[in-house]
Structure formats: structure tokens, C-alpha cells
Structure 1
Amino acid sequence: MQHSRFVFLAAPMPGPYQGQTIHGILWMLVSPNNRPLGRGAVQHEVYARCHESVLELRANVDRIVSQESTVPASGQWTWRIQIADVTVALSSRSYLRARECHYNLGRFLEALPHAEVVAGTRAVRRDRRRPTEPSTPITGGALGTPLARPARVAVRPPYRLEPWSRDVS
């Protein structure tokens, strides 16, 4: 029988020099059917520190304070978990309804104490279309290094309406 588990992902994050990309380590809690339940709020520079953050989270389950809120731009719901006013975990996606958000937060909290901690990391790329594009940091990280999110700007030529002609001959 499979159980929920913590997996560690090596993902691109901005390096100390402009335009440089290095790999940071981020943990994610997944359900037995591999659906993401939640993720760490911070990317760590080394695997050992990321692994420690999972063990600290599990050791402090009784001190968890959860918060559900909406994303102002979309109106969708997300959740986050704090310990001593420090955000340590986030929902892995946003939800259309508050009850969906609340339900999925419950699944995360239910799986947290019993989840297996998988050793090693898996490499992931943030944006498969442009793997060399530098990432832009998300501000407000509590511990370690802030998370990175790829800059996704679609540049399209202006739309031109071609005159429609019909040959009637």
C-alpha cells in the first residue's frame, strides 16, 4: 500500500549574479496517487537544509497555524501554514471555491505526520519552452532563499484585419 510522501525537487532559481541560474531544493508533499498536496514556502540552496525543514515541520505539527485567503488578482483561494509567524508551507495550486481550499488543506494536514520522507532529489525545469531564460524572484520568503518564478511574457505582433475580398466574376 502506498502512502503520502515528501519528495525533494531541484528546480532553477536565480543565482548571486545577474542572469545566472542555479538549482535550489524545494520539498513537496504528494498523495499516494502522486497529486501534490502542498509544498515548502522556501527553496533551499542545499538538500540537507531542505530535508531538515521537513523534519522541523513534522516535529512542530502541534504549533501549526493555517490560514486561507484569496488571491486578489484572480479571486481564487489558497492556503498557507505558519509556525511562529513564519510561513513554512503553501498550497501547490489555487482553488475556485473556499470549501475546496479548506478540504485540500485538511488532506495536507492529515498526511503530514505520517508521510514518508523520500531520500534524494528529482530535477525539474520551470519553463520547458525557454530553459535558459533567467527567473524572477518572488519576494517575501521567510527562511532561506526566496522562491523563483519564471518570467512569462507573451509578445505577439499586433493583430491586423486583412481586407476581405471576394471575386464575383
Structure 2
Amino acid sequence: MTALGGATDRFGQESADDLIVWQLSSANNRPLARSTRAYGSFEDANDAATAIRAHAGQITYRSLKLTSRSEYVWIGSLDSQSVLISARIYSTVRDARDSIVVVSGALPDATVESAARALTRGAR
């Protein structure tokens, strides 16, 4: 899992209100999931990712339909609190559920990185 933060704004200036989220990525760096909350520091994001990984077997997942169109995401909760969300929107509920299977299998063995990767605002 990697911490991601917006280190610069669109003009390349450092921003005082940078927030950090953690992201679970596949072996080929495809984003699988992200934290549902943003953290004020890399250490806080790293601690949260480590705690979530340690409790991976206790996370419950549910898929959600976003709009009247076919757009689905999933959310993972721990002790009734949302802790991770799918990294993308799926066009079928089946694809969202397949992603849950992949994430729930990858999360217990995920490596928590020791450094953050900076993103510019608006980067995806």
C-alpha cells in the first residue's frame, strides 16, 4: 500500500493543505482500493493502512449503485466504519463484486511502503 498526497497545486506551488490517502495497488501498479478518509500526515496514513491490513479478515464489503445509470462501487467497513473504497467505478455489479474478491485476497499480504508518492492536484 502506498500513501498518495497532493504535494503541489496546478501551478507547481507547494500547498499548505496537503492531505494524504493510502492506496492498495496490484503487482502491476493498478489501483485497487483507497482509504475513505484523508490524513494530515504520511505517518497517520501509514498507521491507518497498517491497522486496516492487520484487520483485513474482519472487513465487511458491500457494493453500491451510484446513480440511475449502471455505475457501481464498493465500500469496505470495519466495526461499522468505512475504511476503504474501490479505486474505480464499475459498469456492472458483477465487476464490483469481482474486485471485492481481488482486494480481500490481496489486503492481508499487502506491503505498506515506507515512502509517499506525490501527486499534483487533479491527477488520477
RMSD: 1.6
Structure 2 unmatched runs, 5+: 8-14
Structure 1 unmatched runs, 5+: 1-5, 13-19, 129-169
Q: Which amino acid aligns with 2:27?
A: P
Q: Shift in Å at residue 21 of structure 1?
A: 5.5
- 1:60-112: CA deviations, max 9, x gaps? 12321111011025430100000011100000111001111111111111110
The sequence identity of aligned pairs, in percent, is 24
Q: Which residue of 2 aligns with 1:38?
A: 33
Counterpart Cα distance in 1 of 2:69 and 2:51: 33
The alignment's TM-score, normalised by the length of structure 2, stands at 0.86
Q: Which residue of 1 aligns with 2:101?
A: 106
Counterpart Cα distance in 1 of 2:42 and 2:58: 24
More helix by share: 2
Larger Rg: 1
Counterpart Cα distance in 2 of 1:121 and 1:73: 37
- 1:132-152: CA deviations, max 9, x gaps? xxxxxxxxxxxxxxxxxxxxx
Of the three residues 115, 122, 126, the one matched with 2:117 is 122
Q: Which residue of 2 aligns with 1:93?
A: 88
Q: Which has the higher contact order (CA 8 A, sep 6+)?
A: 2
Q: Which residue of 2 aligns with 1:82?
A: 77
